Amino acid sequence: MERRTIGAAALEVGAIGLGCMPMSWAYSGSQQRGDRSMRTVHAALDAGVNLLDTADMYGPFTNELLLGRVLKERRADAFVSTKVGLLVGDGHVVANGRPGYVRRACDASLRRLQTDVIDLYLLHRPDPEVPVEETWGAMAGLVAAGKVRALGICAMGVRAARRGSGGAARDLYDGTIRQLERVQQVFPVSAVQAELSVWSPEALVRLLPWCEARGVGFLAGMPLGNGFLTGTLTPGGGFEPDDLRARHPRFTAEMMAANQPVVAGLRRVAARHGEDVTPAQVALAWALALGRHVVPVPGTKQERWAVENARAAELALTAADLAEIGRLPAARGSWD
């Protein structure tokens, strides 16, 4: 697979990553199987995917434990990205950016992942009660101690950002950019992770250009629109109660039906590249075409989809393809 070099630390990663969250968190709990997920990770590594994206809160903790079983055998094949800063309580999530906690959490993640170094350590969410410079300083200390290679930040999700911005796309990531500029004075930011897809393009306005101008890598989260852009979901098919899409306004039967033209457009582009090319691969190739600092990180727990996603790195979209995708209707349905 093509390799991309991102960030001040010159991190080399595969052009497509693997989001491991669905294996342990937020999607269809009854379908989560540890052995099957391990096979998925192995298949992704075999296909050239080396960036494995996880977080201590996924599970919580079980996602890192699962990856640790794979890394024990294949650490040299993997680029490990995990996150710190969020704690899971009874039905809620809270931020904790206290320096002491950050140091303890890193040691715990290293144990679970069965490794002596984390390649990319991401701040999952700044703690409003702790100056972000203090949290970032503690994370920089982990680099100095040899426990972490490079640092990054997860940008606030679109839904959360819109609650504080009135919904204007140009304002969605203003707060994140201000925080990035503050922490850059403490220690270099190597990567930013934020949602970016054909049906959620808000990061294109300011956040992606900010990263490109500074040589910061951009990890495109949810590049398949929580599965919608794969074209495999049926409007009205329903989701398990623990699946985040069961409460997502864009995944009502009405909105899924209304957004079918987006998938139809991706299918048209895919058909021009061969009968084996899928809408999901087109959506990932679109993200890759945004710049060599962009690495889409689709999540899956199934081996079949991990391999299909990896093959998207071989798909070169034409200028006409990109123009057609650019003309697709904006996705309908609120994120609030």
Instruction: Compute the C-alpha angle 104/220/56, nearest 5°.
Output: 20
C-alpha closest to that of 200 among 175, 176, 220, 180? 220
Q: Which residues have a Cβ under 8 Å from the Cβ of 210 and sit 6 or more positions away?
A: 177, 180, 216
Q: What is the DSSP string of 188-241?
A: ---EEEEE-BTTB-GGGTTHHHHHHHHT-EEEEESTTGGGGGGT-PPTT----T
Catalytic option among 58, 101, 121, 173? 58
Q: Within the chain, where are the H helices?
A: 34-46, 62-74, 99-113, 132-144, 158-165, 174-183, 207-214, 253-258, 260-272, 279-288, 303-311, 319-326
Query: What 3 state SS string does 124-142 have?
Result: CCCCCCCCHHHHHHHHHHH
Structure tokens at 61: 């903790």
> Tokens 């055998």 map to which residue?
73
Q: Which residues pair with 219 in a beta bridge?
A: 193, 295
Q: Is 58 a catalytic residue?
A: yes
Nearest-angstrom CA–CA distance, 198 and 325: 8
Nearest-angstrom CA–CA distance, 126 and 179: 9
Question: Which residues are part of the catalytic machinery?
Answer: 58
